[in-house]
Structure 1
Amino acid sequence: MLQSYLKIALRTLWKHRTHTLINVVGLAVASAACLLLFLTASFHLSYDRFHTKADRIFRPYFLSNDRAGNEGLSGSMPYPMLPALKAELPEIVGASLIRWSSGGVRYGDKSFSKMIRTCDPDFLTMFTFPMLKGNPKTALNDLGNIVISENMAKDVFGKTDPMGKSLLLNQNGTWKNFVVTGLIADFPDNSTEQYDAFIRTENIVEYGQYKADWSHSDSGMYVELAPTADRGAVEKKLSLFVQKYMAGTIKQQRENGYPKNTRGEYVSLLLEPLPDVHFDTVMTGGQGTSKTYVYALLIIGLFILAIACINFINLTIAQSVTRSREVGVRKSLGAGQGQLMGQVWGETGLLCLVSLALGLGLAYGLMPEFNKLLQAKLSLANFLTPSALLAILGGFVVVVLAVGGYPSWVVARFNAVEVLKGKIQLNRPGLLRNALIVTQFTIACLLTACTLVMVQQLSYLRAKPIGLNQDQVVSIPIGSTLDGQTALRQLRNQLADKPGIVSVSGTGVNIGAGLDGSSSRMVYGFMYNKRELMCDWLRVDFDYLKTMQIKLLQGRDVNPTFSTDSSTAILVSQSFAKQMGDKDPVGKFIQPDSAGRKFQVVGVVADFNLYSLHQQPKPIVLHLDKRWALSYMLVRVMPKNLTGAMETVKLAWKTIAPKQEFNGSFVSENTERWYRKEQRLSTIFSTAAGIAILLSCMGLFAVALISIEQRTKEIGVRKVLGASIGSLVALLSKDFLRLVIVAIVLATPLAWWAMTNWLGNFAYKITMPWWVFALTGGLAIVIAFVTIAFQSVRAALMNPVKSLRSE
């Protein structure tokens, strides 16, 4: 019996091989796209969930408003908070500050650049990063201890056991000795916290100065709650904790007229669950991965799969008309409705199985390019996990049930007598068929409109001036093994007489995303004449304005001929000067740290964007204080020979750091990388829109075939009575075009809503262009008409005598 069914299925599929090929290709492409998108989304959703205590680890953050009532979040904690929390709240059983430290490492005559993190001893017991050697409870007991990763151990020590060995770390220009007391496993790909080594928080250079200062915050923090502790109850206690230890800050905000936050407090200390940290884009300056992005991948995958399934149903129904006599013969020979449904369902399962196999192969083949596009890290191992295999199997079963159910029911209910008399007549188009067409084109129009809006927004961001000239400027990461000031001086000497070099400067913060992949930000908040000032604190060097072509509005530029400029002179942006409230800020003094030095304003510059246009720029203070390191060198070159100028800079770098890789890049390329996520999402949407349109047209083609098959006699009669080809095409097309128009009407508000929310992530954004939706609708109508017209013209050109005779 099964062998007979299999033979019939194979013969039927081969007989209608065009339909079979369309079904297989459509489902295979949809399966590959869904699999890649679902695995990527699943990877992001798995972040930090491998920690056994993930449900009990939280990141504290502050919630407060600025004077204008804008809500602000900050995950930066003061040093004295950690011991105070552990002393005041018994529910907190573990706590650790966490911060980047200097990455320069020396062992013997070898130098390395590594991710060194500062933390507290509790970190090693809170998080599930397995200790391969050493005791996690005691590995960081002493300030001179260091715990290193497997990868760092191989690079630095080779095959030698690293335990007990000494190495040197660059601590803000000073090389300090550390002893290896632990070997920790490398972090997995789905870990927010990444590292090569850990040392104690107390090793931070300024720790001694700020260890009791509640107004200075520069480190993140994690806390572990007891198994019986409730997050909400702990947050209520943290409210009292803040009132006790940060009374001065609260008093200042109240006296200066700051509004309370959404919790009715001036400053709230709240807890963010560890699994949510990866998706935080606010406290990371846009570096996190938005959950909207992850959900968009899932939705796009479902859309593509839904269109492929609808397409499969439509093609199967279209094919059922041509095999009606087979059904009639089998029914007359005693075949039951269940057997007929089983036959069609079996054919569907066979096609789906072949499509899945092809989809898996296609997904694996496309995986390298997909990883490049989405910056993903998918591998064969992701396909073979139990959860992935179970999801693939479950999805296969659901698809087979969904796409095989309705077609098998339609075929099985044919009337045997009427079929054998040649009077097969399907019901007139109903709600389901129309709903399928509307759904397909709604999805296609939605994806197309979203793609066009994204392209417009990205074009706007790239073209918008950011207050400086990013063209023809090379940015060079200095790295952690070199002293920034020394390296900059040597580069200036090397390029002093080289043609094509305009100017050389340095900075502590790169403009855009460089090839080193790192980013940093220092934000200062302090009082000035009873005003709270907030600014980006930017370390620069001489000729910064000249190199970046930033306009000087008042005063003068910093100059090496003034002896105090290298320590106390500052330049401020126009918005910072406005914050100060002075008519002429030049000559005025500010003191960002009440215990530190005073800085004198020598010039005011035009506002410029130091970071991406996702957020409004903060006022900026440019200083030359050597206590802050230079991390990047900037070289402006002539526009005539950019390739030659880059080679000149590269050769100069090799003279300065012969053992260090050159990671220089043009600033214009770096700022382009600000919007990589948006570019990737735009590419995904455009690809999905293309697939959706193609599959929708295939489905529409199939439904048009059904309709024309049913109206063959009507078409013949109309031709005999003098109907023109144009009128026949219009007659056959109008019903379908009405459905497409309904789809456009449904898709337009959905796309408008989705893109309005997406544009909300940008401080600078376009006004929603109405023509995008008009263009989307026009394209949908044209594409649908062309698809239908192919079959309509063919039917209209048929010989009416033949049509009437066959009927």
Structure 2
Amino acid sequence: MLKNYLKVAWRTLFKNKYFALINMIGLGIGIAACLFIVQYVFFESDFDTFHKESETIYRVTQSRQENNVLVENSAMNFSAIGPTIKQDFPEIDAATSIEKQDCIISAENSFGDITSYKESEVYFVDKNFLDVFNFSFINGGKEALAQPNSILLTESLAKKLFGEEDPIGKTMKVVNFNQGTNLELVIRAVLEDIPENSHLKFTCLVTTKDVPGSWRFIDKYVYVKFFPGTNVKNATSKLPGYVNKYLGDYADGVTNIQLAFQPLESIHLSSDLTKEISVNGNGKFVWFMLLIAALILIIAYVNYINLSTIKSMDRAKEVGLRRTFGSQKGALIMQFFFESLILSFIGIIIAIILVLLFRSGFEGLTGISVGSFFWTDYKIWLPLLALLIIGSFLSSLYPAYLLSSYNPVQILKGKLPIGSSGVFVRKCLVVLQFIISISLIIGTFTIYKQLKFMQEKDIGINMERNIVVPAPSNNFESQMGGRNFYQKMQSFRASLMEYPDIEGVVSASSIPGLDLNWTRPYKRKNAVNKNNMYATFSIGPEFIDQFEIETVAGKVFNRNMISVNQMPTGNTPILLNEAAVNAFGFENAEKAVGEFLTDTNGNGVEFEYEIIGVIKDFNQKSLKETVTPIVFRLEDGSSIEYYAIKVASQNLPASIARIEESFKQNFPVSPFEYFFLDEFFNKQYKVDQQFGKIFTVFAGLAIFITCLGLFGLTLFTSFQKAKEIAIRKVLGASVFSLLALLIKDFVKLIVLASAIAWVLSWWGLEQWLQGYSTRIGINFLFFGLATVIVLFIAFLIIGAQSWKINKNDPLIAIKQE
């Protein structure tokens, strides 16, 4: 019996090649799109799960409130937490601290050649790091971290520095002048490259010696590993007491500092903190992509049901004969099921071929690799097998039930009564397709508009035509100390300004697009210090003008202040942005000018600063984050990390060559690097841009599959109305009147679908846009435009069918029973 079912199914599909081809292509594209999306979702949701007992690892986060308003919610924390938290929490198995630095690393190979690189992912860790995390070794083991002045390299960095040489036991230098780092380290081990699905993306690990840490500076990332079975909620309830125990002596009102345990596995998709150690994903995006995958599959199988229903009309006499000779409904359903199974199986084969063909394009689109995981993991193949069986059964059920319900005598006479229930089901399926298509078009327009808005909105600072060059390290370049180094920096700037295509050069401790990790416990003079830390930005006097930042009150820095670095009052001058004015509680910008802030260092020495001006807020980070309160200080050479060089739009290659030449003349040992500031800033939107591209591609595929379904429905309608159309044509009906006859029912369905899609789209987009602190409003023009586009597509497809019908001989249709 089974063999007979398969044989008849195969013959039927082979006989109806055109019908089978449309169905297989639709299913193949739908399943391929689903496979790609599932791969993307699995990759995003699998971050950091490769660590042993990853569910017991947590990050300690820190937040701060002012007047019951959240003003800081940071992934970074006090450096003293790592060394102390295990003592106060017996349920913690291990704890570790991480400090991330940009460093110049250099090493000498066996030929005596010294190579140096600027590495942005250098992690300074304690000996407990590999007790919390599990990273695989190529050479050596975790005991290497127990030895001071050790460095562990990843495989890629080891090859970059030493080629195929064994680096174990060799020495290398790690330097960051602004952080006070000048180390000579021994290479103790080599690690495998960090997995792509890790939020810790270091190139090397450095360990020096254990230090007690500070309760004043928020400069490290702290992770803990609980013993299995620990009730983390109970541990969380003890955090306020822990905070008061160690911070109570520092300030009044320290209860505004709150600590929390954040699960490691939730960091990549669910974390919404500042000062993240790496760029995270977005959990909402993942859910949206899962929704799109489901919608694409629904559309593909709805198309299959509609086209199967259409083609089943041609098999009416076959079904009638089967019923006459005693075939039961169950047998007919099984026959259609095996036909559907064969189609679905071939559709999966097509899907796999499409995945192989477009694999590189998908990897370029998403930035993830479709490796062997894709083909061997049961989490993909079991759902795929279930999809094959369930989809085949459900999609064959309705056509088989429809035909098996007819009176055999009527079927043999060629009369196929279309009941109201059958018409209703088909209309519901069509409406569902249109709802999905219209919603996806609205979503595509809105996502594109939001991304464009973020990139083009005036953020209060003009970054155009600014090339950024990371500053070299003092100790690397000079044996005469910082003074000579500062003179070289000034010489570098002066040589650039002689070039006519360079319009400005400014040095600074940071650049827009980076977290301001330099924080200080500023307070208003004679005010009670509440242990609040404020971001500090050290800038050259040209910074405000070069980046075209508006002055709100007072005055700004000028170059005459560089040599003296003091006001006539003897106080160091500072600027505030508008957010800082509000954070310090000044009534307005004008009232802040002339006031004083103080800052106490680790030895208890107090420094006084005079506010000489207030500048307009600008977005230091992306528009997804709130504006940071910033205190601006004049750079004095000790805090220079970057040069921003504004160049003319013409002769750009020549300008870059001139910058490189001058840099190498002044800093011959340091590696030269550069990047464009606006491009660097927009990298913060990488996840959003990636989601926008992915959404657009797969929404387009869904709409294409819908077009196949619309084509099938047009065939069905023309089949039903063949005689009516033929008679109208004989009586002189025009092509346009025939088009109106075919399309009027679809227009009603599209209007109904639009009403539902508009409501669903409005709700979904509101949820998505809530993730942006600065966002566009819902543009209802997109809603109308989406409906117009669907109507236009319908007119094209049905118009083509009307033209085809107009070419046919009407007498053939009239003679048919």
Above 0.5 in TM-score? Answer: yes
Shift of 1:621: 2.2
Partner of 2:418: 426
1:273 is aligned with what amino acid?
P
8 A contact 1:571–1:603 mirrored in 2: yes
1:590-625 per-position Cα deviation (integer Å, ceiling 9, x unaligned): 234454644443443332222111122123222245
8 A contact 1:574–1:604 mirrored in 2: yes
Q: Do the aligned partners of residues 713 and 629 (structure 1) sit closer, same or farther apart at CA in structure 2, a change above 3 Å counting? A: same
1:470 is aligned with what amino acid?
M
Q: 1:528 aligns with which of 507, 524, 541?
A: 524
Give, in whole Å, the separation in 2 of the partners of 1:776 and 1:346: 38
1:362-387 per-position Cα deviation (integer Å, ceiling 9, x unaligned): 12222222222222233344333343
Partner of 1:437: 430
Q: 1:322 aligns with which of 286, 307, 314?
A: 314
User: What is the TM-score with the length of structure 2 in the denominator?
Assistant: 0.87
Identity of aligned residues (%): 27
2:85 is aligned with what amino acid?
L
Gaps of 5+ in 2: 109-113, 478-484
Q: 1:740 aligns with which of 722, 731, 750?
A: 750
Shift of 1:520: 5.8
Shift of 1:95: 0.6
Question: Is 1:226 aligned to 2:237, yes or no?
Answer: no
SS in 1 for 2:216: coil
Shift of 1:124: 0.7
Give, in whole Å, the separation in 1 of the partners of 2:21 and 2:250: 70
8 A contact 2:74–2:274 mirrored in 1: no
8 A contact 1:558–1:602 mirrored in 2: no
Q: 2:444 aligns with which of 447, 451, 465?
A: 451
Q: 1:168 aligns with which of 164, 167, 173?
A: 173
Q: Do the aligned partners of residues 781 and 368 (structure 1) sit closer, same or farther apart at CA in structure 2, a change above 3 Å counting? A: same
Give, in whole Å, the separation in 1 of the partners of 2:259 and 2:208: 22
Range with bigger deviation, 598-607 or 85-94 = 598-607
Partner of 2:766: 756
Give, in whole Å, the separation in 1 of the partners of 2:369 and 2:375: 12
Partner of 1:259: none
Shift of 1:684: 2.5
Partner of 2:38: 38
8 A contact 1:139–1:181 mirrored in 2: yes
8 A contact 1:348–1:403 mirrored in 2: yes
1:663-703 per-position Cα deviation (integer Å, ceiling 9, x unaligned): 42332333333323222222223223322222223212322
1:573 is aligned with what amino acid?
N
User: What is the TM-score with the length of structure 1 in the denominator?
Assistant: 0.88
Partner of 1:258: none
1:106-142 per-position Cα deviation (integer Å, ceiling 9, x unaligned): 2232323443212222221121213454452x43234
Give, in whole Å, the separation in 2 of the partners of 1:39 and 1:639: 42
Alignment of 1:378-777 (within 5 A): 378-428=370-420, 429-478=422-471, 488-489=489-490, 491-512=492-513, 521-524=517-520, 526-529=522-525, 530=527, 535-553=534-552, 554-559=554-559, 562-565=562-565, 568-577=572-581, 579-580=583-584, 581=586, 583=590, 585-594=592-601, 595=604, 597-625=607-635, 629-653=639-663, 655=665, 663-715=673-725, 729-777=739-787
Partner of 1:377: 369
Shift of 1:247: 3.3
Q: Do the aligned partners of residues 248 and 776 (structure 1) sit closer, same or farther apart at CA in structure 2, a change above 3 Å counting? A: farther
1:200 is aligned with what amino acid?
T
Range with bigger deviation, 548-557 or 460-469 = 548-557
Q: Do the aligned partners of residues 585 and 348 (structure 1) sit closer, same or farther apart at CA in structure 2, a change above 3 Å counting? A: same
Partner of 2:237: 236
8 A contact 2:303–2:706 mirrored in 1: yes
Range with bigger deviation, 387-396 or 354-363 = 387-396
Partner of 2:482: none
Range with bigger deviation, 781-790 or 348-357 = 781-790
Partner of 1:143: 148
1:199 is aligned with what amino acid?
V
Partner of 2:157: 152
8 A contact 1:102–1:480 mirrored in 2: no
Give, in whole Å, the separation in 1 of the partners of 2:635 and 2:197: 38
Give, in whole Å, the separation in 2 of the partners of 1:620 and 1:609: 11
Gaps of 5+ in 1: 254-264, 513-517
Q: Do the aligned partners of residues 497 and 467 (structure 1) sit closer, same or farther apart at CA in structure 2, a change above 3 Å counting? A: same
Give, in whole Å, the separation in 2 of the partners of 1:365 and 1:376: 16
SS in 2 for 1:591: strand
Q: Do the aligned partners of residues 394 and 543 (structure 1) sit closer, same or farther apart at CA in structure 2, a change above 3 Å counting? A: same
Q: CA RMSD in A?
A: 3.3
Partner of 1:116: 122
Q: Do the aligned partners of residues 453 and 213 (structure 1) sit closer, same or farther apart at CA in structure 2, a change above 3 Å counting? A: same
Q: Do the aligned partners of residues 740 and 250 (structure 1) sit closer, same or farther apart at CA in structure 2, a change above 3 Å counting? A: farther
2:199 is aligned with what amino acid?
T
SS in 2 for 1:762: coil
Alignment of 1:198-217 (within 5 A): 198-200=205-207, 202=209, 211=212, 213-217=214-218
Give, in whole Å, the separation in 1 of the partners of 2:234 and 2:443: 43
2:702 is aligned with what amino acid?
A
Q: Do the aligned partners of residues 654 and 229 (structure 1) sit closer, same or farther apart at CA in structure 2, a change above 3 Å counting? A: same
SS in 2 for 1:279: helix
SS in 2 for 1:618: coil
Give, in whole Å, the separation in 2 of the partners of 1:357 and 1:657: 59
1:324 is aligned with what amino acid?
A
Range with bigger deviation, 161-170 or 500-509 = 161-170
Question: Is 1:89 aligned to 2:89, yes or no?
Answer: yes
8 A contact 2:125–2:205 mirrored in 1: yes
SS in 2 for 1:270: strand
Give, in whole Å, the separation in 2 of the partners of 1:739 and 1:677: 36
Shift of 1:291: 0.4
8 A contact 1:53–1:127 mirrored in 2: no
Partner of 2:261: 271
Partner of 2:111: none
SS in 1 for 2:540: coil
8 A contact 1:488–1:633 mirrored in 2: no
SS in 1 for 2:565: helix
Give, in whole Å, the separation in 2 of the partners of 1:698 and 1:79: 60
Partner of 1:98: 98
Give, in whole Å, the separation in 2 of the partners of 1:633 and 1:524: 23
Q: 1:126 aligns with which of 102, 122, 132?
A: 132
Range with bigger deviation, 625-634 or 289-298 = 625-634
1:471 is aligned with what amino acid?
E
Range with bigger deviation, 610-619 or 579-588 = 579-588
Give, in whole Å, the separation in 2 of the partners of 1:657 and 1:143: 30
Q: Do the aligned partners of residues 725 and 365 (structure 1) sit closer, same or farther apart at CA in structure 2, a change above 3 Å counting? A: closer
Range with bigger deviation, 232-241 or 596-605 = 596-605
1:648 is aligned with what amino acid?
R
Partner of 2:481: none
Give, in whole Å, the separation in 2 of the partners of 1:480 and 1:326: 85
Q: Do the aligned partners of residues 544 and 785 (structure 1) sit closer, same or farther apart at CA in structure 2, a change above 3 Å counting? A: same
Partner of 1:515: none
Range with bigger deviation, 188-197 or 588-597 = 588-597
Range with bigger deviation, 21-30 or 181-190 = 181-190
SS in 2 for 1:170: strand
Partner of 1:194: 201
1:696-751 per-position Cα deviation (integer Å, ceiling 9, x unaligned): 23212322332332333455566788877656544443333222222111111221
Shift of 1:644: 3.8
Range with bigger deviation, 616-625 or 738-747 = 616-625
Q: Do the aligned partners of residues 248 and 437 (structure 1) sit closer, same or farther apart at CA in structure 2, a change above 3 Å counting? A: farther
